[in-house]
Structure 1
């Protein structure tokens, strides 16, 4: 969740968070790391990789597009084209914070600055495995506010070694695969705990959920909505 540009502290920034799931059918584990003690947002907390959408994320040549109904649900109550930018941001943040590559082999020219290192791996971002499973708007009064979309994917589609974090930035420390049975022993933000409950319910069913929870916290009220989109035909 690097700050690549000056931040308007009053603005709500679009953001993407990535939940990599490993060993779904045996001992399910998720990839998490710990934010630094001096971080403005959620210091010391164990979180999933993720961060704000950058300007360059809007024009990234995805190797594969988002699947339905995810693209449709992401478009709900969002700016046009935000789904593609969110998917790109999710893949970029995963790579920056963990060194993991969710991509297909491919060459691209003149990538944005924030994408140079990813492009150098010889891959283009692979968005099709990303499953949109949760959305949450940070409540008012926090030092940073994000409209965060959470994406789940199975780690066996990674183009990198899931145990190799040597290319990771220092944004997150103690990167590790945490068993879902053990995860509540970690110090996590409340919203991460809520999302983990949703993930636990999804482990036995790889299909898109019937609807996506949306915690919409604005200045007037807190709403719990469901984003349904159009489910694919059987």
Structure 2
């Protein structure tokens, strides 16, 4: 079997598994919400490498809306719901589960078995996390603790919580915090992973803060 045919089989199995769990899917992306949390599960399988991989990521759903407001992309709110899972201008989310199976014998039924096992684990982990996070504060606290753990294991890893913290402040209309983070990250030459209107993510956030301040001063 060619890899392209194997990919089509994986897509079909993943779609059926998502339907059984009342999740939604696009391509091999499975996505669902539990309260304010949004989860994305993605499996991959390779014939020649004889491997099966899967990842589960999550984010606070409304942070995408805040991102679109800052980037002047509010029209994305009218886009298909799947945009939150695989769109270009959405938060990628934090990885909370990853697994790899090596030396897989791709016998009939094995791919379906791997997908079922991986989605079982993803569903369990998502439900567990949803029970731990009950608001933006606990969400950010989780990310901060996870970031510290990642950096302890891999000191050179490029992971931080600045963007999520700014977006959370935006949702709370805490413009002082938004402006402070934006200025600090701009000074550190951090573009924030997104750009629009010929400005970085943090430059857009600061620009809107300055516009809002100017409007208040004119009143």
Q: Same fold (TM over 0.5)?
A: no
Q: Which has the higher strand share?
A: 1
Task: Name the structure where helix makes up a greater proportion of residues.
Answer: 2
RCO comparison, higher one (Cα < 8 Å, 6+):
1
Larger radius of gyration, structure 1 or 2? 2
